Chains A and B, each alone.
Chain A
Amino acid sequence: MVTTKETLQPEVLEAVVIRFVGDSGDGMQLTGTQFTDTSAMFGNDIATFPNYPSEIRAPQGSLYGVSGFQVHIGSVEVSTPGDNLDLLVAMNPAGLKTNLYALKPGHTIIVDTDSFSKKNLEKAEYTSNPLEDNSLENYRVIQVSMTSLTKEALKDVEGLDNKSITRSKNMFALGMVYWMYGREKEHTIDFFNKKFKTKPHLIEANTKVLNAGFFFAETLELIPNAYTISPAKMDTGTYRVIMGNTATAWGFLAAAEKSGLELFLGSYPITPATDILHELVKHKHFGVKAFQAEDEIAGIASAIGASFAGDLAITTTSGPGLALKGEALGLAMIMELPLVVVNVQRGGPSTGLPTKTEQSDLLQAMYGRNGESPVIVIAASTPADCFNFAFEASKLALEHMTPVVLLTDGYIANGSAPWKIQSVSELPEIKNNITKEAVENWHPYDRNEETLARNWGIPGTPGLEHRVGGLEKDSLTGNVSHDPENHEKMTKIRAEKIKRVQNYIPDIESEFADSGDLLVVGWGGTYGSLHSAVKLINEEGYKNIGFAHFNYINPLPKNTEELLKRFKKIIVCELNNGQFANILKINFNGLDISQYNKIQGLPFGNNELIAEFKKLVD
């Protein structure tokens, strides 16, 4: 029933990377999430990476239907979900086949032997059974007949059909992993109690299987309970585990409360952005108006209408949706209305890779509109700081009277991390440009002298009746103007308004080194990977390598050129074909910029980055 290829030695580890893989219906995302939450509550730092196919239920056992969830837990700071695995839990042959490459040699595989049938082996394109042909001899293989053990554990529970029984085997695996890493089961049992409140037989079944897995690992003493990972050293405070998309939604809730405006979301479902809509529709108690529109265009159009009417208005989407919103975004830009557009980037072009991550919409966000049409573009770095940047995007939109594109990506949007909860009272003030009552000679395009933000006159205010629109405006009255000089003037004012945002954003800083041979440059959701790679190479003794990560892209921080010039070489690392590198090249002369690009729908790994950096400095 259980065999191990070698005797396991107790291990004390700083960090461990575990991946659960199985069919897309096997509950791998749930298993991974439960392990993550439990570990976070134990005090570990965590980073996760769900990786699943775009089919909801791909054919069983197929290679392309494999769904995975990777979690990195540590007693030290953990900034990526990890490159290579310490433990692979494979619920079927297809999962083993597609994920074995990532497992460190000598490390552990747990497999459900019951799923290694002839049929499943064929579907996974195995010509012989890897559990029998010695192809796994470099790994510790723990073979468990999980399906049969689950059935046995549930034989006395009434009211279960065969399907429910086999579907709960993921909890057997989770129970085993809990025991291996010294985790408590209680959090997950609480979860069952809440989730299956009205179905007591399912609470009983899942709890039984979880316990069965846990005690199985314990009783047979085949796996030593010695993978102790102590709590990480983190700032003191109250924490919770948060997903990037939830953090984004909550950042907007906080911004609405802080600004005293009501929050309006106009949106159309699209992977991987939809969870922001799912989250915000729940919060009617805060007066959130979340409107699911008939398409992407109506999503942004309704947000523009709400903005005109005085709400904090946002729209959420992913790449193809941003393309559809382009014309309306231009309208919001020329009408100079506050609006936040969230683009949770995914693999492109066209439909591309909907469930995979990429950073290839940067230039679309910058330039994807007709005419001279600058908007603020900012990007979040990690799941938890999606909160900060959603708040910041709202603040910039309201204070500067402009659309803001906030870029996140599938990787940080679906990833989870500990978030040190920020009370709204600790967040910075948000001003606005609302004219509260009629004043003599008021014009909608009168501007704040410092920011160049125009007046915001809101319907319902007597005496401020005015018209705005997509046609060019007279710089003074706001009436339609076809005057050539005026058009040039307005074009330059709109550009200058965005440029002046530089005065309100922080300088860019470099980590690890202030100057030196090489500056590693990144932006947005790759922060964790790049930070971790530079940290590792720094620990190896490369003290001449710095790291600068950009969150503000349009405008760039004021000191960007000065910082870049402190290093002999620059390498811009992006999950695209070099879009940010091109922005830097357009803006700054005389820099030695090389690129490291990855376009596989996957995040960077440490090893590939370190190898690349060494090439440039050795």
Chain B
Amino acid sequence: MEAIKEQKYTFKDFASDQEVRWCPGCDDYVILRSMQKALPEMGVKKEDVVFISGIGCSSRFPYYMNTYGMHTIHGRAPGIASGVKLANPDLSVWITTGDGDAMAIGGNHFIHVLRRNLDLNIILFNNEIYGLTKGQFSPTSLVGQKTKSSPYGNTQPPFVPGELALGAGARFFARIGGNVPKDMSQLFVDAHKFKGTSLIEVLQNCVIFNDGCYTKFTDKKVKEDMQIFLEHGKPMIFGKERDKGIVLKGLKLEVVTIGENGITQEDLLVHNAKEQDPTLHQMLVRLEYPIATGIIRSFEDVTLEEREDALTKQVKANSKFKKTDDLFFAGETYEVK
């Protein structure tokens, strides 16, 4: 038996026998493959992994994973996943969700699951559009965006998912382009290792209804100039030439060029993902140029299941009730003879 437990999985072990039905060219394939490749690196047993989703393209994900899984109802995956995790804290629980599922119909559950901090993981497939219902604007669509339900342009200002998440108390937030499988895989492993709720926003291109919405940030040619990939403890440098950086000026982040106006690498901010105070993380998620990717926040805190477990142990130790009969016959009872 030991030998079987030690057996190293490959990505194939995590692929189910179901035919994958996303549109050809969709970034969802990249996310699926990245996850199947990440799982063998996590050292978790296949039978201990549960994928839970709501409704939408992203939510078909559990069917393609050869693990335990539930494809549930629109927006409610966080509630269902919380029940799974509270029932059995030993499981590795993953939620796959989209921008509509998480932030429109499921907005309430999304903020509360982040607030509570159970040790589970959320992958947010953000394509700034409703795909499965064929092209309506979502809560992350841009103002002015023309969609099937906004033919003259969207009039509703969007959420920035990271901003909402940090406001709700998220302890772990990462962002990644939908076209970088290797970095994505690594983030999934990091999210798994993180004790607490981790949220990974994938900038996922919808080839049919919102094609190219991230091209100006994620295209291979511009990626390095338009993204800053953050790493804890490292200075905030980006650009093909590694000559751009971020400094704090007043209450704003500012892009500077190393070597201009006397700026050196020492002047740049050093990324501290583990800082409890989310102020700087909030500024980073709101940056429009460059956009921040990588692990923006990773603050380890007590998890809900740890609090629950500690309380349960304490109550059990102090209680005179071991069996329900002890309770039923305790206190004010009387005999009828």
Q: Out of B67, B79, B324, which one reaches A257, CB within 8 Å?
A: B324
Chain A residues positioned under 8 Å from B16 (CB to CB):
467
Give the CA-CA distance A51 to B93 in the complex, in Å: 46
A41-B334, A305-B87, A328-B73 known; A250 and B328 CB under 8 Å? yes
Is A80 at the interface (CB under 8 A from chain B)? no
Whether B315 contacts A284 by the Cβ 8 Å rule is yes
- Residue contact B323 to A424, C-beta cutoff 8 Å: yes
B47 CB contact (under 8 Å) in A294, A310, A461: A461
Contacts A283-B327, A479-B18 known; A43 to B47 CB distance under 8 Å?
A: no
Q: How far is the CA of A540 from the CA of B122 in the complex (A)?
A: 69
> Are the CB atoms of B88 and A459 closer together than 8 Å?
yes
Instruction: Let me know if A40 is at the binding interface, CB within 8 A.
Output: yes
Asked if B30 lies at the interface with its beta carbon under 8 angstroms from chain A, I say no
Known: A310-B87, A465-B68. A285 touches B319 (CB 8 A): yes
Which residues in chain A, 304-353, are within 8 Å of chain B measured between CB atoms?
304-311, 313, 327-328, 331, 335
Minimum C-beta distance from A313 to chain B (A): 7
| Contact assessment for B86 and A291 in the assembled complex, using a CB-CB cutoff below 8 Å | yes
Q: Are A423 and B312 in contact (CB under 8 A)?
A: no
User: In the complex, A460 Cα to B45 Cα: how many Å?
Assistant: 9
Cβ of A317 to closest chain B Cβ, rounded Å = 14
Shortest CB–CB separation between residue A439 and chain B, in angstroms?
14
Check: A241 CB closer than 8 A to any chain B CB. Answer: yes
A266: CB under 8 A from chain B?
yes
Chain B min CB distance to A299 (Å): 8
Partner of B68, one of A424, A459, A471: A459
A-B contact count (CB 8 A): 206
One of A298, A467, A479, A480 near B79 (C-beta < 8 A): A298
Return A248 CB to nearest CB of chain B, in Å: 14
Q: Is A297 part of the contact surface with B, judged by Cβ < 8 Å?
A: yes
Q: Kindly state the separation between the CA atoms of A327 and B72 in the bound complex, as whole angstroms.
A: 10
> Is A287 located at the chain interface by the 8 A CB criterion?
yes
Q: Does B31 contact A (CB under 8 A)?
A: no
Q: Which of B45, B81, B85, B321 contacts A286 (CB 8 A)?
A: B321
Q: Which of A530-584 contact B (CB under 8 A)?
A: none
Is the C-beta of A295 less than 8 angstroms from some C-beta in chain B? Answer: yes
Contacts A308-B50, A421-B329 known; list 10 others, CB within 8 Å. A236-B335, A238-B336, A297-B76, A301-B78, A301-B80, A306-B86, A311-B87, A460-B91, A467-B65, A479-B63
Q: Which residues of A contact B50 (CB under 8 A)?
A: 308-309, 459
* 7 closest cross-chain pairs (CB), A and B: A305-B83, A301-B79, A469-B71, A302-B83, A285-B319, A298-B79, A309-B87
Residues of A near any B CB (own CB < 8 A): 37, 40-41, 43, 187, 231, 234-241, 250, 253-254, 257, 262, 264, 266, 283-287, 289, 291, 293-295, 297-311, 313, 327-328, 331, 335, 420-425, 457, 459-471, 479-480
Report B64 CB to chain A, min CB distance, Å: 9
Q: Is B230 an interface residue (CB 8 A)?
A: no
Are A305's CB and B80's CB within 8 A? yes
Verify A235–B336 contact, CB threshold 8 A: yes
Contact of B72 among A264, A331, A479 (CB under 8 A): A331
Min CB distance B18 to A, Å, is: 6
Residues on B with C-beta less than 8 A from A465 are 46-47, 66-68
Question: Chain A contacts of B72 at CB under 8 A?
Answer: 301, 304, 331, 469-470
Find out whether the CB atom of A470 lies under 8 angstroms from the CB atom of B71. Answer: yes
**In the complex, A4 Cα to B68 Cα: how many Å?**
76
- Choice from A43, A295, A297, A460 contacting B88 with Cβ under 8 Å: A460
The answer on a CB contact under 8 Å between A291 and B82 is: yes
- Chain B residue numbers with a CB within 8 Å of A291 are 82-83, 86
Across the interface, name the chain A residue whose C-beta is closest to B69: A467
A467 touches B328 (CB 8 A): no
How far is it, in angstroms, between the C-alpha of A239 and the C-alpha of B333 when the chains are bound? Answer: 5
Tell me the bound Cα distance from A425 to B323 in angstroms.
11
Contact B336 A305, beta carbon cutoff 8 Å: no
Which residue of the partner chain B has the closest CB to A234? B336
- Does any Cβ of A come within 8 Å of B286's Cβ? no
A457 to B321, CA, bound (A): 31
Chain B window 79-110, contacts with chain A (Cβ cutoff 8 Å), 1 for yes, 0 for no:
11111111110110000000000000000110
Contact A471 B84 (CB under 8 A): no
Evaluate contact between A289 and B63: CB separation under 8 angstroms: no
Residue from the list A37, A43, A303 in contact with B332, Cβ < 8 A = A37
Establish whether residues A462 and B325, one from each chain, have CB atoms under 8 Å apart when the complex forms: no
Complex CA distance for A313 and B91, rounded to whole angstroms: 18
B120 to A: closest C-beta gap in Å:
11
* Residue contact A469 to B315, C-beta cutoff 8 Å: no
Contacts of B18 in A (CB 8 A): 479-480
For B62, give the chain A residue with the smallest CB separation.
A467
Within the complex, the shortest CB–CB distance from B46 to chain A, in Å, comes to 6
**With contact pairs A459-B50, A470-B73 given, residues A297 and B79 touching in the complex (Cβ less than 8 Å):** yes
- Contacts A264-B83, A297-B79, A470-B72: A423 and B328 contacting too (C-beta < 8 A)? yes
CA distance A159 to B85 in the complex (A): 50
**What chain B residues lie within 8 Å of A469 (beta carbons)?**
62-63, 69-72
* B336 and A239 contacting across the interface, CB-CB below 8 Å: yes
Q: Are A254 and B47 in contact (CB under 8 A)?
A: no
Question: Which B33-76 residues have a C-beta within 8 angstroms of A?
Answer: 45-48, 50, 52, 55, 62-63, 65-73, 76
Identify 23 residue pairs between A and B in the complex whose beta-carbon atoms are under 8 Å apart, listed by A's number.
A41-B332, A238-B333, A250-B327, A253-B327, A284-B319, A286-B321, A293-B82, A298-B109, A301-B78, A301-B80, A302-B80, A305-B82, A306-B86, A308-B50, A335-B70, A421-B328, A423-B325, A423-B328, A459-B68, A467-B68, A467-B70, A469-B69, A469-B72
A242 to B47, CA, bound (A): 43
Rounded to whole angstroms, the CA-CA distance of A230 and B232 in the bound complex is: 78
- Cα A300 to Cα B79 with chains together (Å): 8
Flag if B83 contacts A257 (CB, 8 Å): no
Residue B316 is within 8 A (CB to CB) of chain A in the complex? yes
Decide: B76 and A328 in contact? CB cutoff 8 A: yes
A161 and B311 CA atoms in complex are apart in Å by: 38
- In angstroms, Cα B106 to Cα A298, docked, is 10
Smallest distance from the beta carbon of A493 to chain B beta carbons, Å? 20
Chain B residues with CB below 8 A from A480, complex form: 18, 63
Is B331 among interface residues, defined by CB-CB distance under 8 A?
yes
Contacting pair A309 B88 (CB below 8 A): yes
When the two chains form the complex, which single residue of A241, A284, A295, A466 contacts B108, counting CB atoms closer than 8 Å?
A295
Give the distance in Å from the alpha carbon of A294 to the alpha carbon of B69 in the complex: 23
CA distance A264 to B62 in the complex (A): 24
Q: How far is the CB of B56 from chain A (nearest CB, A)?
A: 12
- Residues in A with CB closer than 8 Å to B91 are 309, 459-460
Q: Are A467 and B333 in contact (CB under 8 A)?
A: no
- Chain B, 283-337, CB within 8 A of any chain A CB: 308, 311-312, 315-316, 319, 321-325, 327-329, 331-337
Given known A-B contacts A239-B333, A301-B79, A285 and B315 have beta carbons under 8 A apart: yes
Give the residues in chain B near A425, CB-CB below 8 Å: 325
Query: What residue in chain B is nearest A238 (Cβ atoms)?
Result: B333
Asked whether B329 lies within 8 Å of A238 as measured between CB atoms, the reply is yes
**A238 to B81, alpha carbons, bound, how many Å?**
43
How many angstroms from the CA of A463 to the CA of B48 in the assembled complex? 11
- Do residues A298 and B62 form an inter-chain contact, with CB atoms below 8 A? no
Give the docked Cα–Cα distance between A310 and B68 (Å).
13
Interfacial chain A residues near B334, Cβ < 8 Å: 40-41, 43, 238-240
**With A234-B336, A328-B76 as given contacts, are A308 and B84 in contact (CB-CB < 8 Å)?**
yes
Residue of A239, A293, A301, A479 with highest tally of chain B CB at under 10 A: A301
- Chain B positions within 8 Å of A479 at CB level: 18, 63
